[in-house]
A = this chain, B = another copy of it.
Amino acid sequence: MVLISLTTDFGLRDHYVGVMKGVIAEIAPDAKLVDVTHEIPPQDLRAAAYVLWSSLPYFPADSVHLVVVDPGVGSARRAIASQTAWGVLVAPDNGVCSYVWAAAPPILTVELDNPHYRRAAVSHTFHGRDIFAPAAAYLASGTPLAELGRPVQAPVRLPTPAISVGEVEICGEVIYVDHFGNAVTSIGRLVWDGAMVHLDPAFGEAGRRIVAVGRVTVRAAGRDLGPIRRTYSETSPGEPLALVGSEGMLEIAVNQGSGAQVLELQPGDPVEVIAGR
């Protein structure tokens, strides 16, 4: 029983997600359906790319991941399916798979142009129902990826989240703010062993190395947040702090509060780790 995960910005108020599941159930009645989230901020490709990157490693490797965050629906943007070590992604060709590809490179990516594997009538406004859901369902039913369309050589990629390592500091940026107000940054995967900070970048350049010896200070929104903490409770309620989140990324948070709100952090805002202070 193959699993199909679903990630969209459709929200749960309307019936659009339910309709996609109906389409899938008709084609692949035995597929197991699991929602990742349907509350991606509308048309926010970077947020969706991050959510996929931090979710897919926890799913069975033979899963199919249906992604519909699609500002270009009805335009000429391509629809693709991409085999990776983290499963097959079915998505618009708009870069939403980029962060996954940085960790699990595309093995084969095809354009979903075989009309046999879409609905007979394709609307201009709901490709989730008419193209992406059928493709995911056929893949989950065992249809070979190569059947769905022609290979795509250069799928669209988003810029890699900014991270630069200097003599005494690492500079990164906020890449996602969760509903608790935790601001996840591009700085990671960081490991703080009490004496040294090791960096094993999640995106872009690879290779773990020591980036700081001794204490470091984290700076965000023009404020010093002190060293990297182990848990929220190492600061007083309401106080901002930096810690290594559940994905190994540096996160800015507030004990019993919202880091994003207290510090007015948004995706793209800079965050620094400064050594030796």
Q: Which of B22, B54, B60, B63 contacts A34 (CB 8 A)?
A: B22
Chain B residues within an 8 Å CB radius of A150:
none
Query: Would B32 and A18 count as touching, CB distance under 8 A?
Result: no
Query: Would A246 and B126 count as touching, CB distance under 8 A?
Result: yes
Nearest B residue to A26, CB-CB: B60
Interface range for A: 35 or more
Q: State the CA gap A14–B181 with chains docked (Å).
A: 11
Q: State the CA gap A44–B99 with chains docked (Å).
A: 35
Contact residues of A between 69 and 101, Cβ < 8 Å to B: 74-75
With A74-B233, A232-B74 already in contact, the answer to whether A18 and B36 are too (CB < 8 A) is: yes
Query: Would B22 and A1 count as touching, CB distance under 8 A?
Result: no
Q: A29 at interface (Cβ–Cβ under 8 A)?
A: yes
Chain B residues within an 8 Å CB radius of A39:
12-14
Query: Would A22 and B59 count as touching, CB distance under 8 A?
Result: yes
Nearest B residue to A33, CB-CB: B34
Contact residues of A between 126 and 146, Cβ < 8 Å to B: 126, 129-130
Query: Would B124 and A230 count as touching, CB distance under 8 A?
Result: yes
Q: A125 at interface (Cβ–Cβ under 8 A)?
A: yes
Besides A29-B60, A74-B230, 12 other A-B contacts (C-beta < 8 A): A12-B39, A13-B39, A15-B37, A16-B178, A22-B55, A22-B59, A25-B60, A25-B63, A75-B231, A75-B233, A125-B243, A125-B246
